[in-house]
Amino acid sequence: MTAKLVVQGLSHHYPDEYTGVSVHALDDINLEVNDGEFVAIVGPSGCGKTTLLNILAGLLRYREGNATVDGKKIDGPGPDRGVVFQEHAILPWRTVAGNIGHGLELQKIPRQERQDRVAEYIELVGLVGFEDRYPHELSGGMKQRCAVARTLCADPEIMLMDEPFAAVDAQTRITLQEELIRIAIATKKTILFITHAVDEAAFLGDRCFVFSRRPGRLRETVHINIPRAERNWGDIAANPEFVRARDRILALVREEVIADDR
């Protein structure tokens, strides 16, 4: 297996917005994500996981360490790294189809090819019949489906997801998680998924990086050896591998949270 994303010795400090005091957000992060792999990152809030994602997305500049995709140093945002944001970041003045095709439009892909690919991804995320709707006419779950389709349609090398399902209701979240597994199987994309929900990380990830509290360090990598085809909420709760991985992640996260409370 080849490494798609490589992060070496990455540290990050930033001045606090109000006090100006330097905050140590990330400390000496070393990690690799393989081609086609689904990796979840879990950690207590404030552990720098969103900072890491913003650096990988190219939205935040870094000075210490190195981060590469396919051997190319990350320097600013680019269509090779698609991002699905925490809150709804699809454009309210574009229809579902207009949002999903936006990346192709920016890359100046001809109309016909664009329409074909948009239709393909609308089908993939189950938004057929909603092509001409505006975001304010969609439910929270549909908006995030649209956001995922928009990112995938631009055909990135790696999809970075920042707690994308945190704002939807529990029932919808379960459906979206199962759909994301299906999409990962269908597209074979490399996915880096940030979450604070332990269950979500164990359900989705082939591996899970557990981060320590601030300054964020990679504490442990938990492997979850469950074929993607077996990942559905009906069966997985009884799977001993899932239970083991989830309990291990939970124990690690709790240690961090308890240590933080002292």
The correct pick among 23, 89, 185, 250 for binding another protein (CB under 8 A) is 89
The DSSP-derived string for 38-53 is EEEEE--TTSSHHHHH
CB of 1 to another protein, least distance (A): 26
230: contact with another protein by CB under 8 A: no
48, 26 in Cβ contact below 8 A?
yes
C-alpha closest to that of 197 among 241, 161, 146: 161
CB of 30 to another protein, least distance (A): 24
The correct pick among 73, 136, 188, 262 for binding another protein (CB under 8 A) is 136
Neighbouring CB atoms inside 10 A of 146's CB total 26
User: How crowded is the C-beta side of 78, counted as CA atoms within 13 Å?
Assistant: 11
CB of 211 to another protein, least distance (A): 22
82: contact with another protein by CB under 8 A: yes
Instruction: Scan residues 97-116 and list those touching another protein (CB under 8 A).
Output: 102-103, 105-107
Residues 170, 188, 29, 201: what is their CA dihedral angle, to the nearest 10 degrees?
20
227: contact with another protein by CB under 8 A: no
Q: Are strands 190-195 and 207-211 parallel, antiparallel or unpaired?
A: unpaired
Beta-carbon contacts of 1 under 8 Å, excluding residues fewer than 6 positions away, are 34, 35, 37
Instruction: Scan residues 154-173 and list those touching another protein (CB under 8 A).
Output: 154
* Among the residue ranges 26-34, 64-72, 150-158, 213-221, the one whose residues contact another protein (CB under 8 A): 150-158
CB of 78 to another protein, least distance (A): 6
CA distance 86 to 74: 21
CA distance 41 to 55: 14
Q: Please tell me whether residue 162 adopts helix, strand or coil conformation.
A: strand
Structure tokens at 200: 């979500």
Considering beta carbons, is residue 158 or 236 the nearer one to another protein? Answer: 158
- Cα 205 to chain centroid distance, Å, stands at 11
CB of 80 to another protein, least distance (A): 9
* Among the residue ranges 88-96, 183-191, 195-203, 215-223, the one whose residues contact another protein (CB under 8 A): 88-96
CB of 237 to another protein, least distance (A): 34
Under the rule (CB under 8 A), what is the footprint of another protein? Answer: 57-59, 77-79, 81-83, 85-87, 89-93, 102-103, 105-107, 134-137, 150-151, 154
